[in-house]
Structure 1
Amino acid sequence: MKDILFLAWNYLKYHWAKTLFLLLAISLVIFIPLALDRLAEQGSEKLLRRAVSTPLLLGARGSATELCLSSLYFKSPKLEGIPFTKMKDLEAQELAQTIPLQLEYRVREQPIVGTTPAYFSLRGLEFAAGRSMALLGECVLGSKAAQKLNASVGSSVISSPAGAFDLAGSFPLKMTVVGILQPSQSPDDEAVFTDVKTTWVISGKAHGHQDVDENTADSLLLSRSEEVAIASPAVLSYTEITPENIGSFHFHGNPQDYLINAVIAVPKDKKSELMLRGRYAQGDSDVQLVLPEEVIEELVETVISVRDLLLLAALSIGVATLLVTTLVFLLSIQLRQREIATMKSIGAAHGVVRGVLLAEILMVIGFSLLLAGLYILLLQNLGIPLLENYLS
């Protein structure tokens, strides 16, 4: 038996190009159907789990899928925002609890989620350290966000500029970290949570100013008299909210008209849910009220349909690969007739010759299975995170 394995191994080693081709071809044929099935199954499960835990979503009229993906995975919103007053209108019906979502800004690559502490209760998020945000300029970090930003309770993070040509007037805001969440194995781990009003400060709709008094430098004033001092634009807006300056922060215009990206509505009961869906289906044409579970189920059905088509293609490729592999081994046997004749002439029995050829085939298949197993292991560790990164 050792001699048979030795001969088979040596043949494969000296014909490495053929062996490598067979290994890659067979391993991919084994891996692709298993990978597609597993990725679709795990991805669908995660998508549905998060959608089911989100009762209703209110957002601008347009793609329901875009609304759900941006709200569930903090994907950069492509739909227009809705006025804050739309959430107040929903609240006034007294049929559901409302949780706002403002998703336009980031800290480096981590999404800033402007919301309320009620969001943590909805998602069942618990604190590993600290507390929820309570004041303007405070934030709470998901577990992965805290690691990536190298932040802890008491430290600070700075929002990133909205863009190189940000005409809206947004500017970086230094926020104090007051809490770190425990890992939840969800997109919440990557987020920086803060109050909606804090995101409005980032947007430039609210800001504070330096106090203008007798000690203010003349270079910061347009004019000064005994009764009044008129500040110039050089009196800069604060980029950090502190106990000393928080009183100076004020909003421009009516905050009820400020935009948010979505509202999570948590109905009191099933009857309230049906009433809300009926009212918004026939009422306000500027907004839509969607059930994320239904929207994501449609998306999952599309994913499964694509998976089935790819599995059919993989099956066709598998049959072709099997035929090519068989042909390669048959041609190999034909080209090795002199080698086989030599083995027989030195006393090798027919069983030994067949054993060598069979050992070669089994070695190739065995190594292919190991390679396919390595692919699947990598997919388990990287596949779903890559899918979530794509969604976000």
Structure 2
Amino acid sequence: MEPAVVKGPLQLAWQYVAHYRVRTLLLILALGLTLALPLAVRGLVQIAQAEMRSRAAATPLVLGAKGSPLELVLNALYFRRRGAGEIPQKQVQAIRSSGLATAIPLYVRYHAQQAPIVGTSLEYFAYRGLPIAQGRTLGRLGDCVVGARVARERGWQVGGKVSSSPEQVFDLAGIYPLRMTVTGVLAESGTADDHAIFVDVKTAWLIEGKAHGHEDLVTAEDPNAVLSRTDQNVVGSKAVRMYNEVTAENLKSFHFHGNPDDFPLTAILVVPKDEKAQAILLGRYQKPEMAHQLVQPVVEMDALLATLVQAERFTVVLLGVLGVVVILISSLVFALSFKMRRREFATLEDLGISRWRIATVKAAEVVMVGVLAAGLAGGITALVWELGAGLVRMSLN
């Protein structure tokens, strides 16, 4: 008889919950979202902490212009184009010649279809452990290697073309788009590298206008292209045709203007040989007369994450207060519902159903709604945690 006693109240509770499905759905959504929000926020914060700290910990030191250390770190680690100053290329050789560390240049200033263009050297791929999944690595000026995610989203393939975007739409006299050839696609790494376009640092300078290529003025057919001509020199005019793509035929026509040692970088990844070398380098760049700063990304990230955790705690407290309010309102809804059904419960008592079983029906309704709300909260939380890493990376890029 006991199973029948238990089954009866559950059947009555389920029939009522199913009959008033709109009210039940609203209660489930309110309670489920209230439970899911603090769990989801906490999960996202933990994912952000792990993601940001792991990449920072894998980068011992970053050298850059004096200013905001955090902006420098975000430029070097997540290729944020705005906020970072410039440092001359000769600082790379200065680090290398010290014998204390390896230096990897970075110039992150331009983009193509919102994807950052990262000017660097081949050492970067070995340092980050980024193998080529398709095609080959950088071979010459004008080549680019694209990250797995951005290649998939934009439909870029080996042999295709990617054009850089001008910094200002109406800057007709400024930087013109450079058509780059996709020579390779990187294997997916689950990091910010998946969203970037990598070129040799000289190609990044070419985009900036530090170099250019044009038709041979000696053999130019357009007379307007030549401003003056002597036996020793040929001066071109503004009518000379400039190349916006590097090919095998015009590669030799590209040349740089100025001293490459003074060309800009936004950051230099510094990899000391050991802890002693790191301490020596940090000591050197802490001197007031130094024009540049050497920062430890993990220290800057820890400071940022401490602020993030404080904000998360404040948010969870607010969500907790909201949760209490929602639970009180839900309790009021149940109480009013039971009060409106007094005649229904009185009829059940007249039919011989005990008050204990009626109380069991009421409790079963509350438990069913609570269980369904908890299931919804668990599903939302699991989904957020599953997609959290991707959301964090997208927000950083």
Identify which range, 382-391 or 37-46, moves more after superposition: 382-391
What is the 5 A alignment of 1:368-379?
Answer: 368-379=373-384
Confirm whether residue 244 of structure 1 aligns to residue 240 of structure 2. Answer: no
Q: 1:167 to 1:85 in 2, by over 3 A?
A: farther
SS at match of 1:102: strand
Report what 2:132 is aligned to. 127
Partners of 1:232 and 1:254 lie apart in 2 by 23
What is the 5 A alignment of 1:1-392?
Answer: 4-166=9-171, 169-214=174-219, 216-222=221-227, 230-392=235-397
SS at match of 2:308: helix
* TM-score normalized with structure 2 length: 0.92
SS at match of 1:105: strand
**Deviation of 1:387 (Å):** 2.3
Partners of 1:25 and 1:368 lie apart in 2 by 8
Q: Contact 2:75–2:84 (CA<8 Å) still a contact in 1?
A: no
**Deviation of 1:389 (Å):** 1.9
Partners of 2:173 and 2:303 lie apart in 1 by 36
Deviations 1:203-245 (A, max 9, x none): 1110011012355122433456898764321112211111211
Partners of 1:110 and 1:132 lie apart in 2 by 19
Identify which range, 241-250 or 73-82, moves more after superposition: 73-82
**Deviation of 1:391 (Å):** 1.7
Q: Contact 1:221–1:232 (CA<8 Å) still a contact in 2?
A: yes
Report sequence identity in percent.
40
Q: Contact 1:168–1:204 (CA<8 Å) still a contact in 2?
A: no
Partners of 1:221 and 1:280 lie apart in 2 by 49
The one-letter code matched in structure 1 to 2:326 is T
Q: Contact 1:221–1:231 (CA<8 Å) still a contact in 2?
A: yes
SS at match of 1:125: coil
Identify which range, 264-273 or 155-164, moves more after superposition: 155-164
Partners of 2:311 and 2:218 lie apart in 1 by 68
SS at match of 2:108: coil
**Deviation of 1:334 (Å):** 1.8
Partners of 2:211 and 2:274 lie apart in 1 by 37
The one-letter code matched in structure 1 to 2:29 is L
Partners of 2:230 and 2:92 lie apart in 1 by 46
Partners of 2:174 and 2:331 lie apart in 1 by 67
Identify which range, 105-114 or 326-335, moves more after superposition: 326-335
Q: Contact 1:100–1:262 (CA<8 Å) still a contact in 2?
A: yes
* TM-score normalized with structure 1 length: 0.93
Identify which range, 171-180 or 372-381, moves more after superposition: 372-381
Partners of 1:228 and 1:325 lie apart in 2 by 87
Structure 2 stretches of 5 or more lacking a match? 1-5
Identify which range, 258-267 or 213-222, moves more after superposition: 213-222
The one-letter code matched in structure 2 to 1:254 is N
Q: 1:280 to 1:24 in 2, by over 3 A?
A: same
When the two chains are superposed, the root-mean-square deviation of aligned CA atoms in Å is 2.2
Identify which range, 125-134 or 2-11, moves more after superposition: 2-11
SS at match of 1:265: strand
Q: Contact 1:43–1:387 (CA<8 Å) still a contact in 2?
A: yes
Identify which range, 233-242 or 370-379, moves more after superposition: 370-379
Structure 1 stretches of 5 or more lacking a match? none
SS at match of 2:281: helix
Q: 1:164 to 1:378 in 2, by over 3 A?
A: same
Identify which range, 319-328 or 106-115, moves more after superposition: 319-328
Deviations 1:288-341 (A, max 9, x none): 100101111111122122222222222333333333322322222222111111
Partners of 1:23 and 1:157 lie apart in 2 by 49
Identify which range, 47-56 or 27-36, moves more after superposition: 27-36
The one-letter code matched in structure 2 to 1:307 is E
Partners of 1:287 and 1:168 lie apart in 2 by 32
Q: Contact 2:349–2:355 (CA<8 Å) still a contact in 1?
A: yes
